[in-house]
Structure 1
Amino acid sequence: MKTRKIPMRKCVACQEMKAKKELTRIVRTPEGEVAVDLSGKKSGRGAYLCHEASCIESAQKKKVLESHLKTKIPAEVFEQLQKGSKTS
């Protein structure tokens, strides 16, 4: 029996490759809206972040998501990410 390939993605903050399920996708929709994509299937440009609080803080300070998504990131997105993050 063949083993299934696990989709890997890179965290934009820490640059670590992890399984797609271990990361949270932030998406800029074609309409220009920025949102947390829990399903991982929304259409638009996406960037992935770890669930670690340190990665979320780093992405916010260095404006990594803004450069990857090429738009301004609302504070509500980071608040939503921090609610679901693991403390480290």
Structure 2
Amino acid sequence: MQDIVRRYFKIFIGVIGALSSGAVIVSGLKSGYVPGFSRAALVTGTTYHGASQASQFWFIIFFWSVACVGFVWLAWSAYRD
């Protein structure tokens, strides 16, 4: 019983993580800016723009893409078990 709960929890976390990181990617590509990584960036509103800070912007998009793939892999591997 405990293995079933753990399995569905991993699937749930994987799906939620993939959806949220995918939403950050899509909104970043649509709007042209993404927030920074720190908590202070959320408070101060520090964002990276694709036009003026291209390398930081694409690094954050790449980071969230890798995170999305990782969450998809987590959900898929738990589903396959």
Larger strand proportion of the pair: 1
Larger CA Rg, structure 1 vs 2: 2
Higher relative contact order (CA 8 A, sep 6+): 2
Q: What TM-score does the superposition give when structure 2 sets the normalisation length?
A: 0.26
Larger helix proportion of the pair: 2
